[in-house]
Amino acid sequence: MSGGRAVVIDGNTLDPTLQAFTTSLRLTGLTGLVLDDDAALSRRLFESLVPLSGPPVPVDVAEMSIPGPAGPIRMRHYRPAEAGAPALVYFHGGGWVLGSLDSYDPVARILCRNAGVQVFSVDYRLAPEHPAPAASDDCLAAFRWVVEHAEELGVAPERIAVGGDSAGGALAASVAQLTRSDPIGPVMQLLIYPVTDIRTPTRSRTLFDAGFVLGGHDLDWFGDQYLGTSMPADDPRVSPARATDLSGLPPALVVTAGFDPLRDEGNAYAAALADAGVAVDLREMTAMTHGFINFDGLGGGSSTCIEELTSALRAHVRRG
């Protein structure tokens, strides 16, 4: 199915399992996550990929509703066996348009079990119905609510991290910046192949424009939907790398993928954080595509990289 010949780009060799997977996507005509520039249709496609995450691992889960800036925000609380475990407030990916508590339920369970953290998965508002800064406002409110109610939730307020993947990584980076002067901010930030500059032209965006799960058209279309007509692309709430000062931010675990259009901006943001004096652990998963956190069910390199990511997360939240 993969053609038998290894895929090598920019010195990186694509994981064979992901090579077969991306080949199968191309054979069905899928070169990205956006279908016909239709949000509803693209959301259905995204939700249909949930089985790729593998069967849900058993952890304790509770549904929650918390107050938000524009009404209630749904949230799910995942608890590991360890009482009083550190917490991670997590924002799902999907270009600010796709994704849900359900599509990220397997991911939240994996993070909870493997990293031994309580996970608060946030159902923030999506574009285009709710353009920027709606998602950022919801995520900021959710993090602050968890800190404020930490004692009743069974977690020490100074042991709460913030994290997300792709657009969720941008939201996590934004929350880390916006809470810099809060009495209690995140103990660390987990940024999995984050969007850091919504309109930046990079070499990786050109190299992986199509055929590797997330495409260039996807990025352009997602950006249009989220920015709407009033949010400038250089606002740090949508482009965290555009912040004028990155000093004083919490330690960052930054994970990038070698076959991802977002690779270069994630690596550049990690370097910028380090230059600003922030403690950074950059993990470059060179054989991976965008979205590998959702592909544990495929096995192969995706599962190996998820194990490395969650092991690093476990170490960092406890060190903090």
> Is the link from the previous residue into 133 a cis peptide, with omega within 30 of 0?
yes
Q: Which residue has the higher pLDDT, 319 or 215?
A: 215
How high does pLDDT run on average in the chain?
96
Query: E strand or H helix at 282, and its extent?
Result: strand 280-289
Question: pLDDT tens digit string along 237-248?
Answer: 999 999 999 999
Per-residue model confidence as pLDDT tens digits over 250-262: 999 999 999 999 9
d(CA 160, CA 147): 7
Reported as a pLDDT band with limits 50, 70 and 90, residue 7 is very high
pLDDT of residue 31: 86
- The set of catalytic residues is 166, 260, 290
pLDDT for 3? 54
- pLDDT tens, residue by residue, 284-308: 999 999 999 999 999 999 999 999 9
Sequence spans of domains, the chain: 8-319
pLDDT band, residue 184 (cuts 50/70/90): very high
pLDDT level of residue 63 (50, 70, 90 thresholds): very high
Percent of the chain at pLDDT > 70 equals: 98
Over range 179-189, report the average pLDDT. 98
- Classify 109 as helix, strand or coil: helix
Flag whether pLDDT at 96 surpasses 70.
yes
Residue 43 region by backbone torsions, left for phi larger than 0, else alpha for psi between -120 and 50, else beta: alpha
Residue 1, pLDDT above cutoff 90: no
63-90 b/e with 16+ CB inside 10 Å = b? ebebebeeeebbbbbbbbeeeebbbbbb
| Better pLDDT: 29 or 166 | 166
pLDDT at residue 88 is higher than 80:
yes
CATH of domain 8-319: 3.40.50.1820
Cis amide leading into 240 (omega within 30): no
- How much is the pLDDT for 320? 60
Compute the C-alpha angle 189/227/255, nearest 5°.
Answer: 25
pLDDT digits (tens, 9 = 90+) for 126-136: 999 999 999 99
Q: How far apart are CA 90 and CA 139, in angstroms?
A: 9
